[in-house]
Structure 1
Amino acid sequence: MARWTPFPHAGDYRFDVASVKNLWSQLHCGDAEPCPHDAAVLQAWALYHNGEFEQAAAAGLGAGGPGITVANKATAIYANYLEPKEKTRLDLFMQVAERAQAQAAQEPANANAWYWHAYALGRYSQGISVGKALAQGLGGKVKNALETAIALSPRHADARIALGTFHAEVIDKVGALIGGMTYGAKKDTSLQLFQEALRIHPGSAIGMIEYANALVMLEGEPKMQQATQLYEQAAACEPRDARERLDVEMARVELEAD
C-alpha cells in the first residue's frame, strides 16, 4: 500500500514517552483508555499524538497487546481525516473493524476494542451510505458495539458521541418511526448522549461538531443558530495533539465555507 499522507503540521507536537504519561488523563479524556505500562506502547502513543499516524500504527502492531488499540486509533483517524482516496479509506476502516473485532473476541472487557470496531464500521457505513449500511445489517453491529463500550467504560465520552451520531443519522435517513421501531433510534437519546459526552469531556471539539450536525439532522432550521455556536466553540478550542488539531481545523473550514 502507498505511504500515508503526512499530517500537515508535522513537528508542531513533540510528545515523548514521559510527556504522554504525564498528560495521559488529558489526552485520553475522550476514550478513557487506561495508561499502559509497556514503554513500546507508550512510544506508539507518542507517535500518534504527534500526528505520525503511519509510524504509530506500525509501532502499535509491533508492540502487540494494548498496542493494537494505538494501531486501530491511528489508522482510523488517519483514514477519516487525511486519506484522499475513497477506496483506500474504506479499506482502512474495514481493516480496523476486523482487527478490533478480533481484539474484542480475545479481550471482551476491552472497551476500546468494541469502540474502534464500531467507529470503523460507522465511518465505513457513512462512506457507502447509511441507507446501504442499514440494509446490510451494519447498524445493529455499530449500536451494539457502542453500547457495550459504554457499559464497560461508563466515562467513555467518544463512544457516547458516536452513539449519538448513530441515532441521529438513522432518524435522518429512515425517519423517526421506522428508525425507532427497526433500529431503536431515538431523538431524545441522541441529544442526551451528546450532552453526557460534553459533560465528561467539555473540551471535545469533535463532540461539539457532531452534536451540531445531529441538531441539524434532528431539528433542522430552528437549531441552526445553536449548531453554528457549537462549531464556533469547536473552532476556538486549543488543540492538545494532532488529532485535536484536525478536529479544530475541520470546524474552522466549515465556518469559513458558510
Structure 2
Amino acid sequence: MAKWTAFPYDSADYQYDLAALKKNWARLHAGDAEPWPKDEAVQAAWALFHGGAFQKAFDAGLAAGGGGITVANKAQCIYANYLEKSEKTKLAMFLETAERAEALQAAEPKNANAWYWQAYALGRYGQGISVAKALAQGLGAKVKGSLETTIKLAPKHADAHIALGSFHAEVIDKVGKLLGRTQGADTATGLKMFKDALKLNPASAIAMVEYANGLVMLEGDKKMKDAEKLYADAAACTPVDAMERLDVEMARAELED
C-alpha cells in the first residue's frame, strides 16, 4: 500500500496510553457512540487513530479484526476526507470502506458503526462524483437508509445525525425541494438533525461546520450570518484528538475565505 500523507500538525497533545484512552473514551467518542472495546489490540488501534497515526491505526484495526474493523474504517475515511491528495485514490478508499462496512453489517447487524461508516463512505463518494450522479445510481437511498438504521441502533449517535442533516441539505441544494422529496429529503428534517447533533455533542466542531453549510443550502444567504457564527464557534473549539484538530482547522480555513 502507498504511504499515506502524515498528520500535518503537532500530535503531542493527542497521545493516549490505554489507561488515558479509557478515562477519556466518552469524550473521544461523543460523536460516534462507539462502545469501549474489550480487546486490547483494538484499544491500541484506537490510540493510534486518536494520535493521528491514521495508516498505522488502519493496519492495526484490520489486523485485530472484529471491533478493529471499525477503527480501520474510521481511519481510512477521515484520512481520505482530509488528507488524501489524489481524488482517484480518495474515491477508491471510500468505496473500499463501504464494502468492508457492508460485510461487517452482515456479521454484526446490530453494530451501529457498521451502518454509519458505510453511509459516511458512500456519502463522501457521492459528493466526489457529484450528488446528482450519486442519486441516479441509487446511492442516496442507501446512505439515508444506513444512517436511519444507525440512529435506530444508537439513538445518541451525534455523527449520524450530522450526516443525515447533510444528506437532506445536499439533496435539496443540488436537485431542489420538489425532486428532493422523491429522495425523502426535506428542509425541516434536515435542520432538526443538525440541532439534535449539537444537543448530543455540543463540543463538536464538525457538527457546527456541517450545520453552517446546511443552513445556507437549505435557507439561502439570509442565514449567512448564522453560518459565520457557527464557523467561528467551531474554529474556537479545543480538539481532543487528531480528527477534531482537522475539523477545527477546516473551520478556521472557512473563516479566512
Q: Distance in 1 between matches of 2:44 and 2:213?
A: 35
Find out whether 1:185 has 2:190 as its counterpart.
Answer: no
Q: What CA deviation, in whole Å up to 9, does each residue of 1:99-153 have, x standing for no partner?
A: 0000011111000000000000000000000010000000000000000000000
Find out whether 1:17 has 2:18 as its counterpart.
Answer: yes
What are the equivalent positions in structure 2 for 1:177-256 lying under 5 Å apart? 177-180=178-181, 182-256=182-256
Q: Distance in 2 between matches of 1:242 and 1:17?
A: 17
1:69, distance to aligned residue in structure 2 (A): 0.3
Whether the 8 Å contact between 2:11 and 2:242 is mirrored in structure 1 is no
What are the equivalent positions in structure 2 for 1:47-126 lying under 5 Å apart? 47-126=48-127
Q: Distance in 1 between matches of 2:17 and 2:83?
A: 23
Q: Distance in 2 between matches of 1:87 and 1:20?
A: 34
Q: Distance in 1 between matches of 2:252 and 2:11?
A: 21
1:10, distance to aligned residue in structure 2 (A): 4.5
Supply the RMSD in Å over aligned alpha carbons.
0.7
Identity across matched positions, percent: 65
What are the equivalent positions in structure 2 for 1:133-148 lying under 5 Å apart? 133-148=134-149
Q: Distance in 2 between matches of 1:106 and 1:27?
A: 26
Bigger drift between 2-11 and 58-67 goes to: 2-11
Find out whether 1:169 has 2:183 as its counterpart.
Answer: no
Q: Distance in 1 between matches of 2:140 and 2:184?
A: 10
Q: Which runs of 5+ in 1 are unaligned?
A: none
Q: Distance in 1 between matches of 2:253 and 2:89?
A: 24
Aligned length: 256
AA matched with 2:179: I
Q: Distance in 1 between matches of 2:155 and 2:172?
A: 25
AA matched with 2:232: E
Q: What CA deviation, in whole Å up to 9, does each residue of 1:145-202 have, x standing for no partner?
A: 000000000000000000000000100111111111x111010000000000100000
Q: Distance in 1 between matches of 2:25 and 2:213?
A: 29
What are the equivalent positions in structure 2 for 1:34-45 lying under 5 Å apart? 34-45=35-46
Whether the 8 Å contact between 1:115 and 1:149 is mirrored in structure 2 is yes
Structure 1 residues 207 and 11: alpha-carbon distance in aligned structure 2, compared to 1, 3 A threshold = closer
AA matched with 1:234: A
TM-score (norm 2): 0.99
Whether the 8 Å contact between 2:162 and 2:197 is mirrored in structure 1 is yes
Q: What secondary structure is seen at the aligned counterpart in 2 of 1:175?
A: helix
Q: Which runs of 5+ in 2 are unaligned?
A: none
Q: Distance in 1 between matches of 2:136 and 2:71?
A: 31
Q: Distance in 1 between matches of 2:5 and 2:235?
A: 23
AA matched with 1:49: H
1:16, distance to aligned residue in structure 2 (A): 1.7
AA matched with 2:218: L
1:11, distance to aligned residue in structure 2 (A): 3.5
AA matched with 1:122: G
Whether the 8 Å contact between 2:119 and 2:147 is mirrored in structure 1 is yes
Whether the 8 Å contact between 1:164 and 1:191 is mirrored in structure 2 is yes
Q: Distance in 2 between matches of 1:82 and 1:172?
A: 26
TM-score (norm 1): 0.98
Task: Flag as ranges the 4+ runs of structure 1 deviating above 3 A.
Answer: none
